[in-house]
Amino acid sequence: MASVPRPRQVQVAVVDWLDRRFPFTSSVDEALYQRVPNYANAFYYCFGGMTFILIALQLVTGVFLAFYYVPDVAGNPAPAYTSVQHIMKDVYLGWLVRGVHFWAANLLVVMIVLHMARVFWTGSYRAPRELNWMVGVIMLLVVLAFSLTGYLLPWDTKAYWATSVTIQIIAGTPILGGLLQSLAQGGPTLGPGTLQRFFTIHVFLLPGAILLLMYVHFRLIRQHGISEPM
């Protein structure tokens, strides 16, 4: 009769199975045991990691909110508005999840600005890291797009008029203003088409973009290493 394998034997077998198909152990070892330079122990070198944690927190809380949010404005009150109220008042810890999502979004913008200021101050944007600086600027624009599209989703009075003002500012863009306004609104006025577009961009397009940009950002950091201060 065969003996029952011990938990450690099962763990070793699973890791060996993975290693034969993907460099699992070597990848983990490289990430865990890479030496960090002494100058990178300063607190301001942690701004990038804090930004990553906030982005991850936004993605996780956003998934939980999407379980209950209804992107529909038909009726009075609109389901989009009532679904947010349901999250805040009826869903278990819904108020906490939405609060974390809201305040972490504000803190995320602050941390990105601090991180980019640190990169500029220490000269970390210099060659050969200028491409990574460009990727970081694009990530900032994506986060600002997150803020713009997410602000409308509660579909309350403040969100409606704030987004209306933002779209009017977009409409003032030279040459392409009318086209950009039509694309943002999804119609002649701010309404159901606008919410559908903002929801789609906020939930599907922007998360995919930020994940891709973070992957490129981290790969470039691993390739070039942490830059020394000027």
More confident call, 41 vs 15: 15
As a whole-number percent, the residues of the chain with pLDDT over 70 amount to: 99
Q: What pLDDT is stored for residue 80 in this prediction?
A: 96
The mean predicted confidence, pLDDT, of the chain is: 91
Q: What pLDDT is stored for residue 3 in this prediction?
A: 74
Q: What pLDDT is stored for residue 19 in this prediction?
A: 87
Q: What pLDDT is stored for residue 53 in this prediction?
A: 96
Q: What pLDDT is stored for residue 71 in this prediction?
A: 94
- Tens-digit pLDDT profile for residues 128-142: 999 999 999 999 999
Q: How confident is the model at residue 49 (pLDDT cuts 50, 70, 90)?
A: very high
Residue pair 78/104 in contact (Cβ under 8 Å)? The answer is: no
- pTM of this prediction? 0.87
**Does residue 1 register a pLDDT over 60?**
no
**Does residue 215 register a pLDDT over 60?**
yes
Between 48-52, 63-67, 174-178, the lowest mean confidence (pLDDT) is in 174-178
